[in-house]
Amino acid sequence: MTIFEQRESSIRAYSRVYPVVFKTANNARQTDDTGKEYIDFFAGAGVLNFGHNNPAMKNAIIEYLNKNGVLHSLDMQTQAKAEFIQHFTDVILKPRNMPHRLQFTGPTGTNAVEAAMKLARRVTGRQNIVAFDQGFHGMTLGALAATANEYFRSAAGVPLEHVTHLPFAEQSDNSDESITALREVFLDHNAPAPAAFLIETIQAEGGVNVADKNWIEAIAAIAKELGALLIVDDIQVGCGRTGSYFSFDDLDIDPDIVCLAKGIGGIGTPLAMNLVRPELDDHWSPGEHTGTFRGQNLSFVAGKVALDFFTNDTLMNKVNANVDFMHSQLKPLLNSDPSLQLRSKGMIMGLDVGDGERASAIVQKCFIDGLIVASCGMGGKVIKLIPPLTIPQTDLAVGLNILINATRHVMEEAA
């Protein structure tokens, strides 16, 4: 029995899917303790957009450590934090005319969502929040109430209340019908107005469901009419994943709160924050949503370097080229088996194989053949591809080849 089996909690999940001991990692490759290499198409569930151990970020951290930079500071002012806030403002917020303030929460995505939900309820004096079917927002009780997955919800042990789940309209759906239904519920029938609409523009854990543009813009308009907040959870698909910093840059929406986590620390160290409109942020009193680990200095240092990727178009052009390459490589597979479906926006792609057992067999075969991918969506029937944005095209080609062969193998066996 390994030390993990002996002593680590039964709650272990990913370590059961990938039962090796990882030792080193570099950009889109991880190596286990036997020396076997794996291409990483999972990237820490969307944390490692800039790859493992990005050299510029690593050097900045080493330099910071060598200078005895402050590592832990609660929410006190540090030079690392000042520089991160300044760079984020200059590179991300100002070009978009976003007046939002940065609220650092506990360093997990779920804590950012908790804070956003609290503030929406505070500001509006309303309790109910609208979230969407298949949505994923985290595991703590407030965020869990907004998460749709029954497996996760059933672990709560208490009723999960004050969230209404409504259908999510994908690109392929008839969005006019969904918009009419929404307007009927909230505007014509005068249902009590919610505090907020909490939405992912692409449901990542939910199966890579890409929201219909008109539908999401209609939600933003309805929220405005109702005096409800629009909260965009960009925790998994922000930070460049879709070929632009925010996943909603191409949508005509103006979120009141944007939840960010995962990729913002750059190198994989934790950091979470909400971007909050100042007039809403003024409703907080000091320390009301506190936490020991609000703002990690190593994450500020590496996260600031990560922002350099957004001072020019080089990385985003590379993302767009990677997207074209991924589509061209996957096309023959999709053409050969019409039961397979691909959903995507930028460098998040979901290969829907229609059945959880088949998806799990593909994930396992990929792993044996040297590729890390994970399944998601209802019943785990979708294989999610989220390689680091910085992946070399040679690694992308090797990884896609492994995936395509594994998928063909499993689909042929199942036929």
Ligand X SMILES: Cc1ncc(COP(=O)(O)O)c(C=O)c1O
Q: Minimal distance in Å, beta carbon 262 to ligand X?
A: 6
Token pair belonging to 294: 């609000």
Q: Minimal distance in Å, beta carbon 411 to ligand X?
A: 28
Q: Would you say 27 or 236 has its CB closer to ligand X?
A: 236
Q: Assess 108 for contact with ligand X (CB under 6 A).
A: yes
Q: Would you say 30 or 105 has its CB closer to ligand X?
A: 105
The window from 65-73, 92-100, 102-110, 184-192 that contacts ligand X (CB under 6 A) reads 102-110
Q: Minimal distance in Å, beta carbon 201 to ligand X?
A: 10
Determine how many CB atoms are found less than 10 A away from the CB of residue 164: 14
Q: Assess 233 for contact with ligand X (CB under 6 A).
A: yes
DSSP per position, 198-255: EE-SEETTTTSEEBPHHHHHHHHHHHHHHT-EEEEE-TTTTTTTTSSSSTTTTSS---
Q: Would you say 40 or 200 has its CB closer to ligand X?
A: 200
Q: Would you say 80 or 261 has its CB closer to ligand X?
A: 261
Of 20, 45, 334, 340, the one binding ligand X (CB under 6 A) is: 45
Rg (CA), the chain: 21
- In angstroms, the Cα distances linking 4 to 11, 22, 30, 110, 226 are 11, 13, 19, 26, 51
Using an 8 Å Cβ cutoff, are 297 and 64 in contact? Answer: yes
Binding mask 175-194 for ligand X (x = CB under 6 A): --------------------
What is the distance between the alpha carbons of residues 219 and 291, in angstroms, rounded to a whole number?
A: 32
The window from 107-115, 150-158, 215-223, 346-354 that contacts ligand X (CB under 6 A) reads 107-115
Q: In what order do the strands lie in the sheet with 163-166?
A: 101-104, 273-276, 257-260, 229-233, 196-199, 129-132, 163-166
Q: Assess 205 for contact with ligand X (CB under 6 A).
A: yes
Using an 8 Å Cβ cutoff, are 64 and 298 in contact? Answer: yes
CA angle centred on 345, ends 320 and 371, rounded to 5°: 80
Q: What one-letter code names the amino acid at 182?
A: L
Using an 8 Å Cβ cutoff, are 271 and 303 in contact? Answer: yes
- In angstroms, the Cα distances linking 130 to 162, 283, 406 are 9, 21, 39
Q: Minimal distance in Å, beta carbon 36 to ligand X?
A: 27
Q: Minimal distance in Å, beta carbon 261 to ligand X?
A: 5
Q: Which residues are registered as beta bridge partners of 37?
A: 31
Which single residue brings its beta carbon nearest to ligand X?
109
Q: Assess 105 for contact with ligand X (CB under 6 A).
A: no
Q: Looking at residues 70 to 89 of the shown chain, list those that interact with ligand X (rule: CB under 6 A).
A: none
The window from 61-69, 199-207, 222-230, 363-371 that contacts ligand X (CB under 6 A) reads 199-207
The window from 50-58, 130-138, 183-191, 343-351 that contacts ligand X (CB under 6 A) reads 130-138
Q: Looking at residues 253 to 282 of the shown chain, list those that interact with ligand X (rule: CB under 6 A).
A: 261
What is the distance between the alpha carbons of residues 235 and 245, in angstroms, rounded to a whole number?
A: 12
Binding mask 133-172 for ligand X (x = CB under 6 A): ---xxx----------------------------------
Q: Assess 230 for contact with ligand X (CB under 6 A).
A: no
The window from 74-82, 106-114, 299-307, 366-374 that contacts ligand X (CB under 6 A) reads 106-114
Of 119, 204, 298, 351, the one binding ligand X (CB under 6 A) is: 204
Q: Would you say 64 or 136 has its CB closer to ligand X?
A: 136
- In angstroms, the Cα distances linking 362 to 288, 339, 353 are 46, 15, 9
Q: What one-letter code names the amino acid at 212?
A: D
The window from 49-57, 105-113, 288-296, 384-392 that contacts ligand X (CB under 6 A) reads 105-113
Tokens 């939900």 label which residue?
117
Closest C-alpha to 168, from 129, 206, 138: 206
Q: Would you say 226 or 230 has its CB closer to ligand X?
A: 230
Q: Which residues bind ligand X (CB under 6 A)?
A: 45, 108-110, 113, 136-138, 200, 204-205, 233, 235-236, 261
